[in-house]
Structure 1
Amino acid sequence: MTDGRSILIVGGGTAGWLTAAYLARHLAMVRPGVAITLLDAPEIGPIGVGEGAFPTIRSTLRYLGIDEGGFLRGTSASFKQGIRFDDWLHAPDAGRRHRYLHPFEPPYRSDEVDLVAHWLAQDAATRAPFAEAVTIQHRVAAAGRGPKQAGEAGYEGPLSYAYHFDAIRLGRLLADRAEALGVRRLDGRLVRAVRGTDGSITHLETEPHGTLSADLYIDCTGQHAALIGEALGEPFVSVRDRLFTNRALVCRLPYERDDTPLPTMTIATAHHAGWTWDIGTAEARGIGTVYSDDHLTADQAMQGLADYTGVAADRLEVRALGFEPGYRRRPWVGNCIAVGLSGGFLEPLESTGILLIEAAVAMIAELFPRRGPVAAPAARFNALMTARYEAIADFLKLHYALSRRTEPFWQDNRAAGSRSERLAGLLDQWRYRPPNRFDFTLDVESFAFFNYQYILYGMDWAGDAEPVPQEGGAQLFRKLRQFGDHAAADLPSHRDLVAAMRG
């Protein structure tokens, strides 16, 4: 039996086509008969900062039935095993630099030894960096090795991983998959959304397709937010009092040689008013400098990007982006849901843009009502998404709040008043113990407790916990170092792995 309901998605790109493909795949199983149409407006393009993802993307791509090798070929993708943070603790000083890795692999867990407690009990001046001590992934990533062997099953491997990719190509790949799953594509332009007496959307006026109507409208129009913002007037909740960056300059640089070593991590380098990302896809480097325009001018940011790349400013092809960190107060209003940038964006750090799309579309798929009012799940969806945005904002703020850099941007980030009460309370507790799973509500969290540990201890967080050396801890650390060395020797180089899997 079919229910005959219909969904109209406005806007393509990663948000629109991922939403379309996921809903088509899910609803075909549990609610057959739902018609999904996507209006792909050519003026709504990708923002250009979504070139990295979180490990959840593997489950999403597998669920959509996309072959991993085909994904790598189609999007110029490479593997990502985490993020290396350079110069976040302090600015370079006489050649002295600080760096740490936030890997995707959780710390090794033993029933006999609490490795975190043992690491904290060691001499801070001589102990290995936290991620290097508690996981083998640090050694694998630092050696430029891939997270798996080429012959292993798609989306599987001994180490956790995500990808770097070309966001525009990803949108095209998802569009092809969505259409194969039965999504109807219309190329055209949204003229306006028309509301009824109850405030909900009755229909859209478009060119050249005239009037389009549906039971549920999904706004994937990017920062323009043509439905949720312009038509419905849903307020935007800014978090710029906590997250200060709001501008980015983006460029792409080809490799000088085809065999240039390919990093298997995002490199995030702090500068005096923000940070610069550097990622390696299979075919080019994607580089962007993120900054606060309250602390840096556009010209200064451009010069900083030129200095980082080693390319003169007048020779760089740069795209300038602006964003307001925050989210819609209610991303689901009546018969309209905002997904992607129309629903909110915090900043490029930790690649949460696509992560939030994945979270939203998974909830829509599960909550979509078979019968009755289409807005029935709205309150639940809004509560979960708001809590998720707030949790991510706190996690991102943690990266800045622990810095010892002396520039005004970083001093402002350290100010106690720029932290939420929740984050301030957690930091007070973490002075006496490590973060653990009971600090978080899983349904609204994108990051696990160990992700917080990697940031805290990567940034030399000094608490007041009583040292608790663990019997057997030193021996287990030695074994982990050996396992890491063996893995780095056995696994292929990152570039060789990508080339083999691309075929």
Structure 2
Amino acid sequence: MTQPINHIVIVGGGTAGWLTAATLAKQLKVTSNTNKKVTLVESPNIPILGVGEGTWPNLRATLKKIGVAEADFMRECDATFKQGALFVNWNVPKNGQTHRYYHPLNTVNHSSYDFSLAPYWLMNRTSQRYDYAVASQSHVCDANRGPKEMTTPEYMAVQEYSYHLNAGKFAAFLTKHCVEKLGVNHVLANVQEVELDAQEYIVKLHTDSDTAPTIDGDLFVDCSGSNPILIEKTYRIPWHDISDVIFNDTAIAIQVPYKSENVTIPSHTIMTAQDAGWIWDIALTNRRGVGHVFSSKYTTIESAEQTLRDYLGDDAKGCEARVIPLKLGYREKFWHKNCVAIGMSGGFVEPLEASAIFLFDAAANMLADQMPASREHMLYVENKFNRSFTMRMERTIEFIKLHYCISDRRDTAYWQDNCDLNSIPVNLQENLKVWKTRPPTRYDFEQAWEPFNLDSYLYVLYGLEFDTKIEASHPLIVDEHLAAKKMTAVAELSEKLVKHLPSHRDLLKKVQLHGFTRI
């Protein structure tokens, strides 16, 4: 039981596998400590799924930590800046106007944890949309401005940001960086057999490789996707299905080339609700990635593809559509014995809010920080990891469901069933009952590692015009003068940023030609 954990073996590549390899190799200093080693083995026959092309700001911190130059990453992965998401028609259009709201990545000059503007906005909600009243970033996105100045150093921000990226190119970029800069051993092979010891710990992988027929290890990370080799086929850890809560089980994706070099490149994801799902629209430097996420219970693949092509119009002519099944749910245990499931092998909700890559990255960082010194300490970390990621998956499911269950759309069975109480998690139901009497506060989010924070809930709740009775919220209204001052500051800063920040396209050109100042 005192066997040291020196060799970590990752099964599966893609974004999850290579982010995990990079994080572990950097933190364990495998290039300078001969006792520590990271090996990634991946099949040469399985293509990268690459559904998610949107990310969260945590990826900036990870790329910086593993020693990647931001401009190099952006050039090689066709990356653009992401400042949030624009939701279109998630409520019924009123007065002939398309329903729209942003979930921006930051509020710039306040946090609702410190002083919430929500109750003050609720007193006069007809005056301005919530995200416009509290967030400069919504105005910046409307004006197609970038999140930073031309002279802002790499990874630094004027407005909080993340990226849109080509998932296939990102995996290839990480592969090269991990092998050449971080000392990761890369094996192209298929795992044919998993060998366990008497205590049922994995000790060895048998592969079809002539150069690496066996791979010994101390800790094994399963990043092998939706049909995982270790956590499912070897350990048979049950899968908790969530299709009764999250209905969207299929995606159809189309890559759409630009017809002009001067086309506008939005710095936000556009998410447009449909009769049986929604369409994502992501702008990269050289193309758009557009897809329809839907429930096969409420429409057919053929009809869903036609909906997507109708959305794209002439831009879709000659473009091939790819059908991607989505396995919705998560493991009852993410860590078992000396095996940790990260990526789709551990769980997947759906692409809404781009939580997938965030959760992969969060798991890799927690594993690196909590790395047990030996088997003797492994059970402690296993229990902590499982509790943490069960909570993170549950909270992610609740937040995604929020977008559907408080919508006022009832035009199809899909939207009607999404509002059925039987499909809404009990914890979310209880929260919504309370939030009808007052807006959420920081005390509603007691877990330090919840994926979605107070501000995210406020953007969605009041973007979808959730009915909170302000009369019951008077105890939260403690300083109307300060609230008015903060809202004025948002308006003034918005005007200043829109005027002085470069266009998103000009900023991207600068990245391509000159890069950023290294820090």
Give TM class, smaller chain.
Answer: over 0.9
Deviates more, 1:132-141 or 1:425-434: 425-434
Q: Which of the numbers 436, 447, 452 marks the counterpart of 2:452?
A: 447
Tell me the residue number matched to 1:21.
22
* Secondary structure class of the residue paired with 1:444: coil
Asked if 2 retains the 8 angstrom alpha-carbon contact of 1:44 and 1:222, the reply is no
Q: Which of the numbers 214, 217, 235 marks the counterpart of 1:214?
A: 217
Relative distance call for 1:345 and 1:31 in structure 2 (3 A) is farther
Superposed CA deviations along residues 77-101 of structure 1, whole A, max 9, x for unmatched, are 00000000000012x5784310100
Tell me the residue number matched to 1:193.
194
Matches within 5 A, 1:239-388: 239-311=242-314, 315-373=318-376, 375-376=378-379, 377-388=381-392
Tell me the residue number matched to 1:411.
416
Tell me the residue number matched to 2:490.
480
Q: Distance in 2 between matches of 1:113 and 1:392?
A: 24
Superposed CA deviations along residues 364-397 of structure 1, whole A, max 9, x for unmatched, are 1111112343632111111111110001000101
Tell me the residue number matched to 2:129.
129
* Secondary structure class of the residue paired with 1:229: coil
Q: Which of the numbers 52, 74, 83 marks the counterpart of 1:81?
A: 83
For structure 2, the 5+ residue unaligned runs are 514-519
Tell me the residue number matched to 1:458.
463
* Secondary structure class of the residue paired with 1:471: helix
Asked if 1 retains the 8 angstrom alpha-carbon contact of 2:5 and 2:375, the reply is no
- Count of equivalent residues: 499
Tell me the residue number matched to 1:104.
105
* Secondary structure class of the residue paired with 1:358: helix
Asked if 1 retains the 8 angstrom alpha-carbon contact of 2:294 and 2:304, the reply is yes
Relative distance call for 1:477 and 1:46 in structure 2 (3 A) is same
Superposed CA deviations along residues 306-332 of structure 1, whole A, max 9, x for unmatched, are 101114877331111111211011111
Superposed CA deviations along residues 145-197 of structure 1, whole A, max 9, x for unmatched, are 00001211111111111100000111111112211111111111112223334
* Secondary structure class of the residue paired with 2:221: strand
Aligned residue type for 2:37: A
Aligned residue type for 1:344: G
Relative distance call for 1:32 and 1:26 in structure 2 (3 A) is farther
* Secondary structure class of the residue paired with 1:20: helix
Superposed CA deviations along residues 442-465 of structure 1, whole A, max 9, x for unmatched, are 333011111000000000011123
Matches within 5 A, 1:387-406: 387-406=391-410
Asked if 1 retains the 8 angstrom alpha-carbon contact of 2:81 and 2:164, the reply is yes
Asked if 1 retains the 8 angstrom alpha-carbon contact of 2:240 and 2:332, the reply is yes
Q: Distance in 2 between matches of 1:217 and 1:204?
A: 10
Q: Distance in 1 between matches of 2:340 and 2:11?
A: 11
Q: Distance in 2 between matches of 1:181 and 1:425?
A: 47
Tell me the residue number matched to 1:502.
512
Asked if 2 retains the 8 angstrom alpha-carbon contact of 1:81 and 1:147, the reply is yes
Asked if 2 retains the 8 angstrom alpha-carbon contact of 1:391 and 1:444, the reply is no
Asked if 1 retains the 8 angstrom alpha-carbon contact of 2:439 and 2:468, the reply is no
Q: TM-score under structure 1 normalisation?
A: 0.95
Tell me the residue number matched to 2:516.
none
Relative distance call for 1:9 and 1:275 in structure 2 (3 A) is same
Aligned residue type for 1:42: P
- Superposition deviation, residue 201 in structure 1: 2.0
Asked if 2 retains the 8 angstrom alpha-carbon contact of 1:11 and 1:44, the reply is no
Q: Distance in 2 between matches of 1:359 and 1:441?
A: 18
Tell me the residue number matched to 1:147.
147
- Superposition deviation, residue 356 in structure 1: 0.6
Q: Distance in 2 between matches of 1:229 and 1:415?
A: 32
Asked if 2 retains the 8 angstrom alpha-carbon contact of 1:113 and 1:471, the reply is no
Asked if 2 retains the 8 angstrom alpha-carbon contact of 1:4 and 1:35, the reply is no
Aligned residue type for 1:139: H
Relative distance call for 1:81 and 1:110 in structure 2 (3 A) is closer
Relative distance call for 1:32 and 1:451 in structure 2 (3 A) is farther
Q: TM-score under structure 2 normalisation?
A: 0.92
Give the root-mean-square deviation of aligned CA atoms.
Answer: 2.1
* Secondary structure class of the residue paired with 2:490: helix
- Superposition deviation, residue 502 in structure 1: 2.0
Q: Distance in 2 between matches of 1:58 and 1:237?
A: 31
Q: Distance in 1 between matches of 2:364 and 2:446?
A: 20
Relative distance call for 1:374 and 1:269 in structure 2 (3 A) is same
Q: Distance in 2 between matches of 1:441 and 1:225?
A: 33
- Superposition deviation, residue 410 in structure 1: 0.7
Q: Distance in 2 between matches of 1:106 and 1:314?
A: 39
For structure 1, the 5+ residue unaligned runs are none
Superposed CA deviations along residues 24-82 of structure 1, whole A, max 9, x for unmatched, are 00011898721111112123332221201011111111111111111111111000000
Tell me the residue number matched to 2:69.
67
Asked if 2 retains the 8 angstrom alpha-carbon contact of 1:394 and 1:423, the reply is yes
Identical residues among aligned pairs (%)? 36
Matches within 5 A, 1:155-194: 155-179=155-179, 180-194=181-195
Q: Distance in 2 between matches of 1:369 and 1:325?
A: 30
* Secondary structure class of the residue paired with 2:153: coil
Asked if 1 retains the 8 angstrom alpha-carbon contact of 2:107 and 2:137, the reply is no
Aligned residue type for 1:408: A
Aligned residue type for 2:425: S
Q: Distance in 2 between matches of 1:182 and 1:487?
A: 42
